[in-house]
Amino acid sequence: MIKKVLFTALLASVFSISGMSQDNSYAIDAETGATQQEVKKEKEVKDVKNLEKKTSKLIDAISRLHIGGYGEIALSRNFYSDHVSRYSAPEDHKDDPSHGRFDIPHAVINIGYDFGKGWSFGTEIEYEHGGTGGAYEKEDEEGGEWESETEKGGEVELEQFWIQKSFRPWANIRAGHLVIPVGLNNSAHEPLNFFTVYRPEGENTVLPSTWHQTGIDFWGRYKDFRYELQFLAGLNADNFTTTGWIHKGAKSPLEFEIATKYGMSLRIDNYTIPGLRLGFSGYYGHSIGNSYPRNKNGVDAEYSGAVVIGSFDLTYNKHNWIVRGQVDYGYIGDVEQLNYIYNRINKKSPYHHSTSVSQNAYAVGIEAGYDVFSQIHKLRKDNQKMYVFGRYEHYNACASSNMEKYGYTNVKRMAIGINYMPVKGVVVKADYSHRFLKSLYNNEPSLNVGIAYQGWFL
Q: If we measure between CA atoms, which residue out of 14, 30, 165, 87 comes closest to residue 444?
A: 87
CA–CA distance, 421 with 189 (Å, rounded to integer): 18
**For residues 202 and 365, is the Cβ–Cβ distance under 8 A?**
yes
Looking at residue 367, its pLDDT comes to: 98
pLDDT at position 428, please? 98
Query: Distance (Å, rounded) from C-alpha 80 to C-alpha 98?
Result: 5
pLDDT of residue 19: 43
Phi then psi for residue 442, to 5 deg, are: -90, 140
- Cis before residue 35, ω within 30 degrees of 0? no
Of 112, 191, 122, 108, nearest to 157 (Cα)?
Answer: 108
Burial class (CB in 10 A: 0-12, 13-18, 19+), 380: middle
**Pick from 181, 179, 180, 184: which is nearest to 203 by CA?**
184
The Cα-based distances of 291 to 87, 88, 248, 334, 397 in angstroms read 32, 32, 14, 16, 23
Cis status of the peptide bond prior to 293, with omega within 30 of 0: yes
Cis peptide leading into residue 355 (ω within 30°)? no
Q: What residue segments make up the domains of the chain, in order of their start?
A: 72-456
- Rounded Cα distance, 379 and 427, in Å: 15
Residue 30: what pLDDT? 57
Helix, strand or coil, per DSSP, at residue 325: strand
CB count, 10 Å around CB of 300?
Answer: 23
Name beta bridge partners: 248. none
What sign does the dihedral 288-252-83-416 (CA atoms) show?
negative
Please say whether the beta carbons of 90 and 440 come within 8 A. Answer: yes
Is the CB of residue 205 less than 8 Å from the CB of residue 244? yes
Nearest-angstrom CA–CA distance, 267 and 229: 7
Helix (H, G, I), strand (E, B) or coil at 233: strand
Q: What is the pLDDT of residue 13?
A: 46
Q: Whole-angstrom Cα distance, residue 103 to residue 220?
A: 37
pLDDT of 60 reads 86
Do 263 and 283 contact (CB within 8 A), yes or no? Answer: yes
How many CB atoms lie under 10 A from the CB of residue 325? 18
Element (H or E) spanning 17, and its range?
helix 2-23
* Nearest one of 206, 166, 216 to 186, comparing CA atoms: 206
What pLDDT score was predicted for residue 146? 65
State residue 47's pLDDT score.
84
* Residue 366 DSSP SS3: strand
72-456 folds as Porin (2.40.160)
Tell me 104's DSSP state. Answer: -
CA–CA dist 182, 203 (Å, integer):
10
For position 230, what pLDDT does the model report? Answer: 98
DSSP reduced 3-state for 242:
coil
pTM for the model: 0.84
- What pLDDT is recorded for position 354? 67
Residue 368 CB neighbours (<10 A) = 17
Helix (H) or strand (E) holding 36: helix 36-64
**Low-confidence residues of the chain: pLDDT under 50:** 1-23, 152-154
396/394 Cα distance (integer angstroms): 7
Per-residue pLDDT, 33: 62
Spatial distance between the Cα atoms of 171 and 226, rounded to a whole number of angstroms: 11
The answer to whether 412 touches 396, Cβ cutoff 8 Å, is: no
Q: Are 95 and 60 in contact (CB under 8 A)?
A: no
> How far is CA 386 from its chain centroid?
25
- Residue 59 CA to residue 45 CA, distance in Å, equals 21
Nearest-angstrom CA–CA distance, 163 and 122: 7
Residue 296 has a pLDDT of 79
Residue-level pLDDT at 16: 43
For residues 162 and 179, the answer to whether their CB atoms sit within 8 Å is: no
